[in-house]
């Protein structure tokens, strides 16, 4: 039995809306747009594209934008001439995290880590280019989707390091470590953060928003980002970790 195209489009829109979150308060009555992979493919490479505030972006469209070096900037609603997609706006930067270097950090969270993600994005934005992989609201979502989005950016070299937040940090760590080339560590204090970098060269950090508060989260991120890999005997062991993953990579 065939399904009418209109019904398929409706179902796709419902799934995308659930995955990416509803639009901001005050825009509920405004029609929502969806930016597709085809829309981004049609944009010029190495360009800056304005994004309507009430537009939703698909994960594939965001990935293609990164690959084509297209920067999507959120704007106030107006006629912008083409379908565009929103980039989450980071909260006001806070002076608690001292970071050096101009690199890229990918960050993602499910509904349980949504608020903590927003706080850390504001802090990270002081020194880093931050890629927000979602979620974009507190509506219930599935943490493996966002763990995979962050891990893939790190594995592909498009992000220097990644941070994922869910309720406990455990499930996201499991999901991220399924991606070859990713060494994700679930840290709950500064000591585990330092160890994961010095000994294991972790390139993805997972946090449990339900287990730690904002102040401790900032301390963990500070320690994790500023700790160098010790190398030496640890390098041999990390190589063996990567070799295990390589055996099962397709």
Which of 69, 96, 111, 199 is catalytic? The answer is 199
96 annotated active-site = no
Q: By C-alpha distance, which of 77, 72, 137, 66 is closest to 106?
A: 66
Q: Which helix (H) or strand (E) segment is 67 a member of?
A: helix 59-67
DSSP letter at 210 equals T
Q: Structure tokens of 241?
A: 């970790």
Distance CA 247, CA 236 (A): 17
Per DSSP, the residues of 68-127 read: TT-EEEE--SS--SS-----PPPPPP-TT----S--EEEEEE-GGGHHHHHHHHHHHTTT
Active site residues: 199
């Amino acid at each position: 039995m065939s399904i009418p195209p209109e019904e398929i489009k409706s179902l796709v829109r419902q799934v995308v809306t659930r995955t990416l979150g509803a639009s901001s308060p005050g825009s509920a009555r405004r029609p929502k747009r969806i930016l597709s992979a085809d829309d981004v493919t049609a944009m010029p490479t190495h360009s800056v594209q304005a994004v309507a505030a009430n537009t939703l972006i698909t994960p594939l469209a965001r990935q293609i934008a990164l690959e084509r070096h297209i920067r999507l900037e959120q704007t106030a609603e107006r006629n912008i001439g083409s379908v565009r997609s929103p980039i989450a706006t980071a909260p006001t930067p806070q002076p608690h995290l001292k970071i050096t270097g101009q690199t890229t950090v990918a960050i993602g969270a499910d509904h349980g880590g949504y608020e903590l993600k927003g706080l850390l994005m504001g802090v990270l934005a002081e020194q880093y280019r931050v890629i927000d992989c979602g979620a974009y609201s507190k509506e219930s979502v599935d943490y493996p989707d966002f763990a995979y989005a962050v891990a893939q950016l790190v594995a592909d070299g498009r992000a220097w390091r990644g941070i994922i937040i869910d309720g406990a940090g455990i499930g996201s760590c499991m999901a991220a470590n399924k991606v070859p080339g990713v060494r994700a560590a679930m840290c709950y204090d500064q000591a585990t953060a330092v160890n994961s970098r010095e000994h294991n060269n972790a390139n993805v950090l997972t946090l449990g928003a339900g287990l730690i508060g904002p102040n401790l989260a900032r301390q963990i991120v500070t320690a994790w980002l500023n700790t160098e890999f010790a190398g030496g005997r640890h390098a041999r062991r990390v190589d063996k970790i990567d070799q295990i993953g390589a055996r099962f990579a397709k």
